[in-house]
Structure 1
Amino acid sequence: MKTIIGVDFDNTIVCYDELFHKIALEKNFIDSDFPKDKEKIRNHFRAIGKETAWTELQGYVYGERIFEAEIFPGVIDFFKRTRERAIPIYIISHKTRHPYAGPAYDLHQAAMGWLEKNNFFSNPSVNLNPKDVFFVESKILKCDQIALMKCTHFIDDLSEFLSEPAFPENTTRILFSKKADHSLSKSVLRIEDWCAINNYFFKEHGFFARRS
Structure 2
Amino acid sequence: MLVGLDFDNTIVCYDRLFHRLAVEQGLVPVSLPATKGAVRDHIRAIGREPEWTAMQGVGYGPRISDAEPFPGVKEFLRACRAAGVDVAIVSHKTKHPYLGPAYDLHAAAHTFLTTHGFYDTADTGLSPERVNLELTKQAKLDRIGALGCDVFVDDLPEFLGEPSFPAKPRKLLFDPADANADRSDYTRVTSWAAVTSFVLGGEVSRWAA
Query: Is residue 93–residue 133 contact of structure 2 (8 Å, CA) maintained in 1?
Result: yes
Give the drift of 1:180.
4.3
- 1:159-194: CA deviation from partner (whole Å, max 9, x where unpaired): 111111111122111100032433x54011100011
4+ residue stretches of structure 1 with deviation over 6 A? none
Partner residue in 1 for 2:19? 21
Distance 1:58 1:130 in 2: 23
Match of 1:48, as an amino acid? I
Which runs of no fewer than 5 residues in structure 2 stay unpaired? none
Corresponding residue of 2:98: 100
How far did 1:51 drift?
1.2
Q: Distance in 2 between matches of 1:125 and 1:165?
A: 36
Q: Scaled by the length of structure 2, what TM-score is found?
A: 0.93
Q: Secondary structure at the match of 1:90?
A: strand
Report the alpha carbon displacement of residue 123 of structure 1 after superposing the two structures with TM: 4.6
Match in the other structure for 1:142: 140
Query: Equivalences for 1:119-134 in 2 at 5 Å?
Result: 119-134=117-132
Unaligned 5+ segments in structure 1 are none
Considering only aligned residues, what root-mean-square deviation do their CA atoms show, in Å? 1.7
Provide the secondary structure at the position in 2 that maps to 1:41: helix
Which residue of structure 1 lines up, in the alignment, with residue 43 of structure 2? 45
Kindly tell me the number of residue pairs found equivalent between the two proteins.
207
Please show how residues 168-183 of structure 1 align to structure 2 within 5 Å: 168-177=166-175, 178-182=177-181
User: Residues 96 and 78 (structure 1 numbering): CA distance in 2 closer, same or farther, change over 3 Å?
Assistant: same
Take 1:199 and 1:128, find their aligned partners in 2: how far apart are those partners?
A: 20
Query: Where do residues 1-212 of structure 1 align in structure 2 (5 Å cutoff)?
Result: 3-177=1-175, 178-182=177-181, 185-203=183-201, 206-207=203-204
Question: Does structure 1 conserve the Cα–Cα contact (< 8 Å) formed by 2:172 and 2:187?
Answer: yes
Identity %: 41
Q: CA deviation at 1:206?
A: 4.3
Deviations 1:58-98 (A, max 9, x none): 00111110111111111011111111122111000010000
TM-score by length of 1: 0.92
Write the distance in 2 (CA, Å) between the matches of 1:135 and 1:67: 17
Looking at structure 1, the residues matched to 2 and 121 of structure 2 have their Cα atoms a distance apart, in angstroms, of 21
